[in-house]
Structure 1
Amino acid sequence: MLEVLQYDFIQNAIIAGILISIAAGIIGSLVVVNKITFLTGGIAHSAYGGIGLAVYLGIPILFGATIFAIITAILIAIITLKNKSRIDAIIGMMWASGMAIGIVFIDITPGYNVDLMSYLFGSIIAVSSEDLIFMSLLDIFIVIIVVFFYKPILAVSYDSEFAGLRGINVKFFYTLILILASLCVVAAIKAVGLILVIALLTIPTYLAETFANKLSNMMIISSILATMFTLCGLVISYLYDISSGASIIMVSVVALATIKILKK
């Protein structure tokens, strides 16, 4: 088993798994605490539009998905802040529109040969050196933002009305959280794909809530759990020759179910 570590693609997969898990643990905690799992799911599926656009324009796929996801996050923030009573319908429309845009651009791209299934269901084994650089920069950016703005993010996450009374710009930090979530979604595409990315963001955090009594601890524990699930999923994927994204999520689900049963 250890001899496989000599291969570059295995080393890249392990490094990518750790980098993605750090981002997923931090951002997943914010997603769960702010109860924006559905919004993040809308951003994730809308990002497929950026993938299709990137294929059509011939630009790096993760770059196209990042720009599209950030724009979607800002639009969702603006719309949901003004019309909270129709959040579910708005997200549903943007979810479907993003997927449709991606499919249309892919259909009209002549002779494309990109493995688009890997972006839907993940293929962490195919992570390149450029992807690792992107993930590293993303992790650094997320950690800096969260550390620098921890107190206002904490206040907005747990009591936005009180935060507003204290002079905190609730709209700005709500939008910032959605943008960070969109960046994390794009980074996790290669690991678990757009379809399964929400599970990676939420399952470790649900477990971390059992052991943490404050947001910062939840982020740390969630990152550690996500790393464990990702690495275990990679091992199972290699041993049984199954999809890495599905393996990672199944490990997470089994761990969640086991701990909840033992706790009861």
Structure 2
Amino acid sequence: MDFIHEIIQYKFLTNALFASLLSGIACGIIGTYVVCRRLVFLSGGITHSSFGGIGIAYYMGWNPILGALVFAVLSALGIETASDRGRMREDSAIGIVWSVGMAIGIIFIYLTPGYAPNLMSFLFGNILTVTDGDILALAGLDVVILLLFLLALRPVMYVAFDREFARSQGIPTRTISYFMAVLVALTIVLSIRTVGIVLLISLLTIPPVIVNTLSKSYRKITWWAAVVATLGNLTGLYFSYEFNIPAGAATIFALTLTLIVVKLLPLCCKSLKP
């Protein structure tokens, strides 16, 4: 009861609650696309490359999240363009963007005049630093994602599973791929404060994997992954409050335990049968 009372009483906890809900919805839905299209490595590349934007923003005196947003979107479009036109293998492009983005971020952080800023909240997340602007941005992103998947779930699903088949059906695969790459980048950057750059890839991948263990329907995985990610965020926030540990790490730990239970449960049931 103290947890609920303090969430209502303190603004930073209220923002943390809304961030948990909104980022869970975005990561669950977008994570399903990422997992089904086997773009987990891509999401990791975009996540870590955004650190370059954070470093440049600190050096220029800009909003770090805005810098990460621009850098992540450009990285996502660059990777998609390079792989789509056959100029470079996708995994090679991701690896290059991943390392170059981190390198740029480190260089500009060290070049920033004065005391080097504390980057722990960006690397490992600090949900208590979420602002009203972050909440509005996440809410806007959720509206776009929900509208897209309500109106165009089937084309997105075709592109996720088989681009060649989707192209043969007259679906604009290139447009959808580029648009989804931007949504992946936006979801990643706007969720950085929730779990951080290092752990964010897990928030995108573990919920869809949990649901995929129980269902093979893309539609069901999409919506239930959003539910699982949201519950994971809320559980992490509660554990953070009770045990004074980082919410991002607690979230990933809770989701990982859930995945282990879901994977082991069928085996246990089989072993108990006479």
Per the normalisation by structure 1, the TM-score is 0.95
2:162 equivalent to 1:159: yes
User: What is the percentage of aligned positions where both structures have the same residue?
Assistant: 38
2:242 equivalent to 1:239: yes
2:48 equivalent to 1:45: yes
The worse-fitting range, judged by mean Cα deviation, of 175-184 and 27-36 is: 175-184
Size of the alignment, in residue pairs?
264
Consecutive unaligned residues of structure 2, counting only runs of 5 or more, are 268-274
The corresponding residue for 1:250 is: 253
C-alpha contact (below 8 Å) 2:26/2:226 kept by paired residues: yes
Matches within 5 A, 1:13-32: 13-32=16-35
Q: Match of 1:30, as an amino acid? A: Y
Matches within 5 A, 1:37-186: 37-83=40-86, 86-111=89-114, 114-186=117-189
Deviation of the 1:112 alpha carbon: 5.1
Rounded to whole Å, the distance in 2 between the matches of 1:23 and 1:197 is 12
Q: Match of 2:195, as an amino acid? A: V
Q: Match of 1:239, as an amino acid? A: E
Rounded to whole Å, the distance in 2 between the matches of 1:212 and 1:157 is 17
The corresponding residue for 1:222 is: 225
Rounded to whole Å, the distance in 2 between the matches of 1:141 and 1:72 is 21
Larger Rg: 2
Q: Match of 2:264, as an amino acid? A: I
CA-to-partner distance for each residue in 1:5-29, whole Å, 9 max, x for gaps?
A: 2211111111100000000011000
> Over the residues paired in the alignment, what is the CA RMSD in angstroms?
1.6
**Residues 112 and 138 (structure 1), Cα distance of their counterparts in 2 relative to 1, 3 Å cut:** farther
2:25 equivalent to 1:4: no
The corresponding residue for 2:190 is: 187
Deviation of the 1:218 alpha carbon: 1.1
The corresponding residue for 2:270 is: none
Rounded to whole Å, the distance in 1 between the matches of 2:19 and 2:46 is 22
Deviation of the 1:74 alpha carbon: 0.4
Rounded to whole Å, the distance in 1 between the matches of 2:82 and 2:230 is 34
Deviation of the 1:142 alpha carbon: 1.7
C-alpha contact (below 8 Å) 1:52/1:102 kept by paired residues: yes
CA-to-partner distance for each residue in 1:221-261, whole Å, 9 max, x for gaps?
A: 00111111111111111111111111110001011001111
Rounded to whole Å, the distance in 1 between the matches of 2:143 and 2:115 is 33
Consecutive unaligned residues of structure 1, counting only runs of 5 or more, are none
Per the normalisation by structure 2, the TM-score is 0.91
